[in-house]
Structure 1
Amino acid sequence: MKKNFICFLAIALLVTACSKKGDKVVSGEENQSGRTPAAEATAVIAAGTTQQNIRGFGGANIRGWIADLTAAQRTTAFDPANGIGLSVLRVRVSPNSSDFAAEKPTIDAAKSYGASVIATAWTAPASMKDNNSLIAGKLNTSSYADYAAHLSNFCSTVGGVTAISPSNEPNISVTYESMNLTASELAAFVAAQGSNCGAPIMAPETFNMNKTYMDTYLSNTTAASKTSFMCGHIYGATPYVYSVGKEVWMTEHIYNTNDANGWADALGVAKEIHDCMNAGYNMYVWWYIRRSYGPMDESGNITKRGYVMAHYARWVRPGYLKISCTANPATGVYVTAYKSGSKIVVVAINQNTAITYQPFTVSGATVTGFNRYRTTSTANLTSDSFSITGGSFGINLPAQSVTTLISY
């Protein structure tokens, strides 16, 4: 009897200890160091508190400067079932209208997978500028209507452009295709011709999400009324909240030009996407889709950076809503959450060098379990599933990993 009582007591203590870590504890991997995984503060997900609409996660295909994506590479880039699942394609509006039609194969392929297409002009045709050059210079005011017709011609030729930007990074001077426009000059063009460019205007697309430039641009109330989306890049900038009653799109960035299969940098890309989402941005767009430092290498293989982007792009599809979630429940752990109808998607980053036990609670939605995908330095999108009860659960996040949970 005494022996049975001791066994019963041991079992009771074990159950009590486990219950302190949530209704369902799923480890999925052993702590190879032999240490107990660190327990962190609870990540609280409130599905009833919605934040921004998600337009998508994407990259650029600048056909006139590098070779176009092949048919197989388009599938790898945009297929949400077996590829990266990019849901935004950014393309260049060439200053030569004879180039326009060549953009269609990749544009049509991207759209067939549900991606949206955004277009950026680096420069107006030289004949429309004050220096008669494709580099630097300003748009002639007398050419406003002609330039709008040029942009509209691009949109009608390729079809289905979600938004168009009249000028890429107008606030810096470079030695390639460009225009140097002040915020007031860019706003003057949009005020005069923004309704005639063939697609909704996204602007001003500064290289560093420059708030002063954007504020000045919006001070032209006519230009503001003709601008559907605010957009910019984050070179040398930290994502920040910019609330002006319009969606904010991050339309270009390169984390660095190191080999895209370096895992430490890939984790940095994950954190950058996390930061953009927590700043309220509706879109995140990488620079070249296919590049040694991009989501796809020159041979068309998905890189570590590509697998990181897939953690968001495959499952946080256009139209999902970001929902309230504890963004940084503990040192080295970063979490965002999203929903579409009753489906919840959670993306968790663990930058720590040890396995980290992370508790979660979900309110405002009924969740009975999750499909789980994990990427580490040695594995890509490995999957399993687990059930939960009562809206509380905990999982071990592998050391230096990205995990996506999709409710079922």
Structure 2
Amino acid sequence: MVTAVTIAVTTAGALLAAPTAPAIAATSASVWLTTADRSNLLRQQGDVAFGNGGSGSVITINDNARYQSMVGFGASLTDAAAWNISNSSQRNSIMNALFNPSSGIGLSWLRQPIGASDFSRSFYTYDDGAADPSLTRFSIAHDNAYILPLVTQARSLNPRLSIMATPWSAPAWMKTNNNLIGGSLSDSQIGAYTSYLVRFAQAYGSAGAPIAYMSVQNEPNFSPPGYPGMLMSAQQQSNIINTLTPKLRAAGLNTQILGYDHNWDNTSYPQTVNNSAGSNVAGSAWHCYGGNPSAQSTVHNAQPGKDIFFTECSGTESGNTFADSLRWQGTNLAIGATRNWARTVTTWNMALDGNHGPVIGSCTNCTGVATVNGGNVTYNAEYYVLGHLSKFVQPGAARIDSTGYGDGGIQNVAFRNPDGSIVLVALNTGGTQNFRVSYNGQSFGYSLPGGAMATFRWTADGARSGTVTGG
């Protein structure tokens, strides 16, 4: 899970204030700013008026050209993350800061592990022990204690939240080595494994946490040496998906399956699954630990009928600064992933403790969206990167065309919300720069400090049908 991404923590008292009511005139844009020195942390600025002149390069917004529709932005309530939040005296404050669209950043997406991951307090699945092909022992009792209560609380805070589920390993008795660590799924157990995944989706749905999306293996090209995982070839994954999807439909579940769920450095695996699984797979899921976001476009351009989801990226604590983290994640996740067709942006753990855990056999300096030590809470760079999207870009928004600039310029991505508002997310990867934003024949100027991230939102002047070009 270790990556070159670096995160620096912020002070717990620097949480954003709720924005004003969205009564935004078509003549001006509202602005929220996060600066590299942390003096502004998703803080609302004064409105900027269209027609105010300005100078510098021009970002042109064209909402007649529309791309993918967005599903959500978020992270994972792993076993470790849920443990940390659930046992904090600030639990409700944390959950509101994360999921409440008014007082917090309104996260709208969860990627939930099916059983233990590396960020767990123990090794477990939902059917451990001797072989149990009829799944008579299946139970999600482990999650009832502190994971599901947080998942359902998140949904109550943001009813528009969607949930994806992903396994790190099948139960040991289904695997070639009879161990949660290493090995692979026995082909003879594909039937049992797919039934296990259906049972999970049913159980979570019954508990008030419906599973909208699922992948069948986290990082199938990586066999972790110290925590649950298993190798899975593209052909075996296709066979699993072709067995699983009909079972889900027979059970009355509309859960959509995503293939791959691994890094940007391999485009052949997701294309193989997209081809072999056909209509049984909705598309592919992606991580940040190798390659770059353009791989998503490679697959989209080859298979435009298949969705792209970005589903995991963890930062790490190091000697680098909040500014480095804001720049890397803003460039590659908030902007890079979405400009390359991602319908979601997902970091990894929602909350880790001061020792970067609990963790088993894996990254010992990873960071979460928040750091939670009992009643002490710090919101990290992920919080603000996600917040610049999740607080303003509604589920169902369409990414629209915006002119972009390379390294050293103003990176940006734009969206049109279902309510007609336009959202522009911009990141300055150079020194302080003046630039202009042009929309429908009008423009405004702005000066963005070096390393800063900003979200601009304004009301579009009337409904426009636009041209959907994908997603």
Q: Is TM (by shorter chain) over 0.5? A: yes
CA 1:330–1:187 in structure 2 vs 1: closer, same or farther (change >3 Å)?
closer
> Residue 64 of structure 1: CA displacement?
5.8
CA contact (8 A) 1:61 1:69 kept: no
Q: Which amino acid aligns with 2:368?
A: G
CA 1:110–1:209 in structure 2 vs 1: closer, same or farther (change >3 Å)?
farther
What residue number does 1:318 align with?
A: 395
> Residue 209 of structure 1: CA displacement?
5.5
Tell me the C-alpha RMSD between the 2 structures: 2.3
- 2:272 counterpart of 1:212: no
CA contact (8 A) 1:41 1:330 kept: no
What residue number does 1:86 align with?
A: 107
Aligned residues: 347
Q: 1:351 aligns with which of 405, 424, 429?
A: 429
What residue number does 1:166 align with?
A: 216
| Distance (whole Å) between structure 1 residues aligned to residue 179 and residue 337 of structure 2 | 35
CA 1:276–1:135 in structure 2 vs 1: closer, same or farther (change >3 Å)?
same
| Distance (whole Å) between structure 2 residues aligned to residue 61 and residue 304 of structure 1 | 17
Query: Secondary structure at 2:424's aligned position in 1?
Result: strand
What residue number does 1:99 align with?
A: 142
What residue number does 1:144 align with?
A: 190
| Distance (whole Å) between structure 2 residues aligned to residue 271 and residue 317 of structure 1 | 20
More displaced, 56-65 or 105-114? Answer: 56-65
Structure 2 unaligned runs (5+)? 1-48, 116-124, 127-138, 357-366, 460-471
| Distance (whole Å) between structure 2 residues aligned to residue 211 and residue 310 of structure 1 | 29
Q: 2:311 aligns with which of 232, 251, 276?
A: 251
Q: 1:297 aligns with which of 371, 377, 384?
A: 371
| Distance (whole Å) between structure 2 residues aligned to residue 51 and residue 171 of structure 1 | 30
Percent identity over the alignment is 25
CA contact (8 A) 2:50 2:442 kept: no
Q: 1:239 aligns with which of 282, 293, 300?
A: 293
Structure 1 unaligned runs (5+)? 1-20, 27-38, 364-389
- Provide the TM-score with structure 1 as the length reference: 0.79
CA contact (8 A) 1:76 1:302 kept: no
Q: Which amino acid aligns with 1:342?
A: G
| Distance (whole Å) between structure 2 residues aligned to residue 214 and residue 330 of structure 1 | 28
Asked which structure has the greater RCO (Cα within 8 Å, sep 6+), the reply is 2
| Distance (whole Å) between structure 1 residues aligned to residue 193 and residue 81 of structure 2 | 22
CA contact (8 A) 1:209 1:233 kept: no
**Residues 3-54 of structure 1, C-alpha deviations (whole Å, 9 max, x = no match):** xxxxxxxxxxxxxxxxxx972147xxxxxxxxxxxx4221110011111111
| Distance (whole Å) between structure 2 residues aligned to residue 259 and residue 86 of structure 1 | 28
Query: Secondary structure at 1:297's aligned position in 2?
Result: strand
Q: Which amino acid aligns with 1:87?
A: S
| Distance (whole Å) between structure 2 residues aligned to residue 337 and residue 208 of structure 1 | 23
What residue number does 2:438 align with?
A: 361
CA contact (8 A) 1:100 1:154 kept: no
Matches within 5 A, 1:5-404: 23-25=51-53, 39-63=55-79, 67-70=83-86, 71-72=91-92, 73-94=94-115, 95-96=125-126, 97=139, 98-102=141-145, 103-112=147-156, 113=158, 114-159=160-205, 160-175=210-225, 176-197=227-248, 199-208=255-264, 210-220=266-276, 223-240=277-294, 241=297, 242-243=299-300, 244=303, 245-258=305-318, 262-272=322-332, 273-291=334-352, 293-298=367-372, 299-328=376-405, 331-340=408-417, 341-354=419-432, 356-363=433-440, 391-404=442-455
**Residues 115-168 of structure 1, C-alpha deviations (whole Å, 9 max, x = no match):** 111110011111111211111212122222221221122112222111111111
CA 1:49–1:193 in structure 2 vs 1: closer, same or farther (change >3 Å)?
same
CA contact (8 A) 1:203 1:232 kept: no
Q: 1:406 aligns with which of 438, 446, 457?
A: 457
Q: Which amino acid aligns with 2:216?
A: P
Q: Which amino acid aligns with 1:326?
A: T
- Provide the TM-score with structure 2 as the length reference: 0.69
Q: Which amino acid aligns with 2:149?
A: P
| Distance (whole Å) between structure 1 residues aligned to residue 53 and residue 447 of structure 2 | 8
Query: Secondary structure at 2:351's aligned position in 1?
Result: coil
CA contact (8 A) 1:295 1:302 kept: yes
Query: Secondary structure at 1:67's aligned position in 2?
Result: helix
| Distance (whole Å) between structure 2 residues aligned to residue 400 and residue 54 of structure 1 | 26
| Distance (whole Å) between structure 2 residues aligned to residue 136 and residue 118 of structure 1 | 24
More displaced, 162-171 or 207-216? Answer: 207-216
> Residue 260 of structure 1: CA displacement?
9.2
| Distance (whole Å) between structure 2 residues aligned to residue 139 and residue 68 of structure 1 | 32
> Residue 256 of structure 1: CA displacement?
3.5
Query: Secondary structure at 1:345's aligned position in 2?
Result: strand
